[in-house]
Amino acid sequence: MDFVSAWKASSIVLTGAFGILGLATEFRNKHTKKITRWGYFSLLGIVISTACGTAAQIIESSDDAAKALKVSITTATMLSGVERLLTPSGIPTVRLVMGAPCSDAVYRQFCSTPLIYPLSGDGAQDSTYAWMIWPGVKGGRVYAEMKIGFFRDEKRARACFNDYAKCNLSNASDIFGSVLGENYGQNYNLFAQAPDWNSHQMLVEVADKLSLSDYRSDGTMVSTKDFDRSMAVIVVRGSLLKLNLRLEKMQIFFPNGQEAESSLPIAQVFSPHSGIVDLVPLTLP
């Protein structure tokens, strides 16, 4: 029996004892009708023991509530762990969309010119035409080397983004992978829209569900739930940089059919040494 339970039991016993004492002795003087010394003693004992019993009951109730809360937290943690086991992330694939507004000085004149190539509905063919007339490209080769690091902890992601020159993304991130985008050859996976009239932007899409090369995971992010409210740091190098594009959207596809996507704002910095570095917040829809 713990202290509180013993205290509660003792209070009950003492209350009964003082009650019996009050009955066994004269509580009031028969002649003067005043409370006797024993009456005061038993009355005081009843009051004190009752107060102690009440206090013990309050403490016990508080302890029970704390225990119930602890059990609830433990149960929630266990259920979350089970859910993480049931939703493995596996090795994800990615889709990246980059764009520049037609109001950009580089593209203003181009966007104001009527479209001079026919849209066939075939993404690859239309992209080939778009690259042929894209300002600064004119049918030339464009490539992008992209390194992607996923972070469960936002502070670590921001620290890497803010001081990327000293951050080894491959080692600092929880999951790392790389993507090579090219608008030529067998690895043709940079699709252009020049321009996309719906959004009034020049758009470049890195092919849908592109696998990550050089994949590495430290085991921190093993569930799709781990990607909710996580961060990605993306470093882009290559001739794509001269097109003055910004990352507009990122999608992540998991083998179990779930998806994660970027949310705003997407931060971006440019360094002559590092290239374009993006900080991308991620959520599960």
Co-location of 122 and 220 in the same domain: yes
pLDDT in tens, 126-183: 888 888 888 888 778 999 999 999 999 999 999 999 988 889 999 999 999 999 999 8
Alpha helix segments (H runs only) across the chain: 3-24, 37-86, 108-111, 123-133, 154-162, 169-172
pLDDT over 70 percentage in the chain:
66
Co-location of 251 and 132 in the same domain: yes
Co-location of 101 and 80 in the same domain: no
Mean pLDDT of the chain: 79
Co-location of 98 and 185 in the same domain: yes
Co-location of 62 and 177 in the same domain: no
Co-location of 56 and 114 in the same domain: no
Whole domain around residue 211: which residue ranges?
A: 93-283
Co-location of 128 and 259 in the same domain: yes
Query: What pLDDT shows up at residue 126?
Result: 82
Query: What pLDDT shows up at residue 169?
Result: 93
> Cα–Cα distance between 224 and 58 in angstroms, integer?
44
Query: What pLDDT shows up at residue 111?
Result: 83
Location of structure tokens 């690895």: 187
Residue 224 CB partners (closer than 8 Å, separation 6+):
87, 88, 89, 254, 256, 258, 260, 284
Is 193 or 228 the better-scoring residue by pLDDT?
228
Res. 231: pLDDT tops 80: yes
Co-location of 113 and 211 in the same domain: yes
Query: What pLDDT shows up at residue 112?
Result: 80
Task: Determine the average pLDDT of the residues in 234-261.
Answer: 91
Res. 235: pLDDT tops 90: yes
CA torsion, ordered 186, 101, 276, 106, to nearest 10 deg: 90
> Cα–Cα distance between 124 and 32 in angstroms, integer?
113
Co-location of 78 and 109 in the same domain: no
Co-location of 132 and 263 in the same domain: yes
pLDDT over 90 percentage in the chain:
33
Confidence of residue 194 (pLDDT cuts 50, 70, 90): confident
Query: What pLDDT shows up at residue 93?
Result: 93
Co-location of 15 and 156 in the same domain: no
Question: Model pTM?
Answer: 0.70
Q: How many domains does the chain have?
A: 2
DSSP annotation of 30 reads T
